[in-house]
């Protein structure tokens, strides 16, 4: 019998839950508002609700062997969130693993959301068949994940892969982490807003009302000059960051996911010139950027793969 896992992708706005087969096929997806501002207790309640819904759905004959959860923040070896999950009040310190195992009696694994996404893409998605993979998720912030020799690399304290905090511009834009010049401050929804605001500050005739990535990339596709300039600037910094990562890791592939990656070709085209300018010549024209296979569902497949990787 084919085995299945429940994958939970905990976002700041929505919780997505999916029933995923051991082959990485998505059988069923449901979503539920996170209600992050109501705090950790409410968020746990909502997670339990979507899990219960998937279990009910699975009663028609699917065998569930475990639950995987991708969460914002850093996760230690025991599945406890040890920091960095500042978009959900009270979430740091939560032992979600024990709570869910008690409630559902299923093996449960917790991991940083982008780390889990990276694993899912490595096992079943764009990274399938490759050994050494780096992944960047471009959303509100910028997260990263590392696969070394086919296995997840978590770092010594579970905090590896913070590609959003590679310094790409000494004394540059303020970053949410409290530092300056981080990649996230240039190449994320926050970064796009920073770049747009700087352009408006430098030139009063420029007015940008809506700095959301979806708007900027859509305007750029339509040929809007200002939007194109922002897209180019974001691509330039992504090329600097990814160029450094390629020189560090010598990876097989680089995967780009997250909400912003849905803008597609225009984003990838904006990165390559800077990437090939900043990686060692050895890699020029060779290193490939791949979009995630599972796009909006790369988070749930990733979460499920935390369990599936051992089967």
Q: Site residues (CB under 8 A) for a second copy?
A: 74, 83-84, 131-132, 144, 146, 148-149, 153-163, 165-170, 177-179, 240, 243-245, 247-252, 277-278, 280-282
Please give the span between the terminal C-alpha atoms of the chain, in angstroms, as a whole number: 13
* Residue 167 C-beta: closest distance to a second copy, Å: 5
Q: Using CA atoms, how far apart are residues 190 and 168, in angstroms rounded to an integer? A: 15
* Residue 64 C-beta: closest distance to a second copy, Å: 31
Region of residue 92 (phi > 0: left; psi between -120 and 50: alpha; otherwise: beta): beta
Q: Which is nearer to a second copy, 231 or 242 (CB)?
A: 242
Q: Which is nearer to a second copy, 64 or 279 (CB)?
A: 279
Are 249 and 134 within 8 A, CB to CB?
yes
DSSP E strand stretches across 123-172: 133-138, 142-148, 151-152
* Residue 165 C-beta: closest distance to a second copy, Å: 4
* Residue 157 C-beta: closest distance to a second copy, Å: 6
Q: Which is nearer to a second copy, 62 or 74 (CB)?
A: 74
Q: Which is nearer to a second copy, 52 or 248 (CB)?
A: 248
CA distances from 62 to 19, 31, 59, 300, 309 (A): 9, 20, 6, 17, 19
Are 72 and 85 within 8 A, CB to CB?
yes
* Residue 32 C-beta: closest distance to a second copy, Å: 30
Cα 206–chain centre separation: 32
Q: Which is nearer to a second copy, 21 or 244 (CB)?
A: 244
Q: Which is nearer to a second copy, 13 or 247 (CB)?
A: 247
* Residue 166 C-beta: closest distance to a second copy, Å: 4
Are 90 and 39 within 8 A, CB to CB?
yes
The residues pairing with 81 across neighbouring beta strands, listed in sequence order, are: 75
Cα 168–chain centre separation: 20
Q: Using CA atoms, how far apart are residues 105 and 8, in angstroms rounded to an integer? A: 16
* Residue 162 C-beta: closest distance to a second copy, Å: 4
Q: Which is nearer to a second copy, 14 or 176 (CB)?
A: 176
């Amino acid at each position: 019998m084919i085995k299945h896992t429940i994958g939970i992708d905990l976002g700041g706005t929505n919780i997505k839950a999916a029933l995923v087969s051991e082959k990485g096929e998505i059988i069923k997806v449901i979503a539920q508002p996170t209600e992050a501002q109501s705090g950790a207790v409410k968020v746990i309640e909502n997670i339990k609700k979507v899990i219960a819904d998937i279990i009910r759905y699975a009663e028609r004959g699917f065998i569930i062997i475990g639950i995987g959860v991708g969460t914002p923040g850093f996760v230690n070896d025991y599945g406890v969130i040890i920091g960095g999950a500042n978009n959900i009040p009270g979430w740091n310190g939560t032992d979600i693993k024990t709570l869910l195992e008690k409630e559902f009696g299923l093996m449960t694994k917790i991991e940083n959301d982008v780390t889990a996404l990276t694993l899912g893409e490595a096992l079943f998605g764009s990274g399938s068949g490759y050994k050494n993979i780096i992944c960047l998720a471009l959303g509100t912030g910028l997260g990263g994940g590392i696969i070394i020799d086919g296995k997840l690399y978590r770092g010594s304290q579970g905090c590896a892969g913070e590609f959003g905090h590679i310094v790409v511009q000494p004394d540059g834009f303020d970053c949410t982490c409290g530092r300056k010049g981080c990649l996230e401050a240039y190449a994320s929804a926050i970064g796009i807003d920073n770049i747009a605001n700087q352009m408006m500050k430098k030139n009063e005739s420029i007015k940008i009302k809506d700095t959301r990535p979806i708007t900027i990339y859509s305007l750029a596709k339509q040929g809007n000059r200002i939007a194109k300039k922002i897209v180019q600037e974001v691509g330039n910094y992504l090329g600097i960051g990814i160029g450094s990562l390629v020189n560090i890791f010598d990876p097989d592939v680089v995967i780009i996911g997250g909400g912003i990656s849905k803008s597609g070709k225009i984003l990838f085209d904006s990165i390559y010139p800077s990437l090939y300018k900043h990686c060692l010549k050895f890699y020029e024209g060779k290193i490939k950027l791949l979009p995630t296979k599972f796009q909006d569902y790369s988070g749930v497949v990733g979460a499920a793969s935390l369990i599936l990787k051992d089967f």
